[in-house]
């Protein structure tokens, strides 16, 4: 059995969604970043961490891809052209989509006041909007980013969309990209993961 460590308000949500997609048994410990529980598994205090027997894997993307490879779902086979394209999408999700979101968050909440750039939103929103245009073009008429198969980068991109839509004054683009995100949000595993996230936070379903 797997043990997921990390509050679902963080990137740990990606891993829990992945676990629900795979329909495998797991336990969840809703540890906040930099808590004693988190630091016990990761010196940086970051979450998520996944306990696998007596070992631990860090980073949401590494964990999701490990789980997908291990269980033969949510991924194309390593060494295939399809997997190469899938990995390209994963890198795009991290470099182009998540990067401006994380930069915005760091300067808004986490960096010391003397280091934070107060008007960082101008550049990060510009970068994010540009990434959304690229996503629309690359996605085309496909159901998911690699075609007909739902894979790990679809999870990452949907989580990033959730993140972006929670930033005040950031208008998420309507049209094909939003349709794609909403399609992913209708998956039973996503709905279950969101239900668990809301329960963790004491929110109404």
**Mind listing the pLDDT tens digit for each residue in 113-150?**
788 688 888 999 999 999 999 999 999 999 999 999 99
- Domains of the chain listed by start with CATH number: 2-73+190-201 (3.40.30.10), 81-187 (1.20.1050.10)
**CA–CA gap between residue 61 and residue 144 (Å, rounded):** 18
**Tens of pLDDT, residues 7-17:** 999 999 999 99
Q: Which two tokens stand for residue 49?
A: 């961490």
**CA–CA gap between residue 1 and residue 195 (Å, rounded):** 21
**CA–CA gap between residue 67 and residue 45 (Å, rounded):** 22
**Tens of pLDDT, residues 88-119:** 999 999 999 999 999 998 887 876 878 868 88
pTM of the model: 0.96
Length of the chain: 205
What's the pLDDT at 105?
A: 83
Which residue is it, tokens 């007909």?
A: 148
């Amino acid at each position: 059995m797997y043990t997921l460590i990390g509050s679902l308000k963080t990137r740990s949500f990606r891993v829990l969604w992945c676990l629900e997609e795979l329909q495998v048994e797991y336990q969840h410990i809703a540890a906040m970043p930099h808590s004693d529980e988190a630091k016990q598994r990761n010196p940086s205090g970051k979450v998520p961490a996944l306990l696998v027997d007596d070992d631990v894997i860090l980073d949401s993307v590494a964990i999701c891809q490990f789980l997908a490879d291990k269980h033969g779902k949510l991924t194309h086979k390593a060494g295939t052209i399809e997997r190469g394209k899938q990995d390209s999408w994963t890198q795009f999700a991290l470099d182009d989509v998540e990067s401006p979101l994380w930069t915005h968050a760091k300067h808004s909440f986490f960096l010391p006041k003397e280091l934070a750039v107060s008007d960082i939103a101008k550049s990060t929103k510009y970068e994010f909007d540009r990434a959304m245009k690229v996503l629309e073009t690359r996605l085309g008429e496909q159901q998911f980013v690699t075609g007909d198969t739902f894979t790990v980068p679809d999870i990452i991109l949907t989580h990033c969309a959730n993140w972006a839509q929670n930033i005040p004054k950031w208008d998420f683009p309507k049209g094909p990209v939003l349709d794609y995100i909403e399609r992913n949000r209708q998956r039973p595993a996503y709905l279950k993961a969101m239900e668990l996230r809301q329960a963790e936070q004491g929110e109404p379903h």
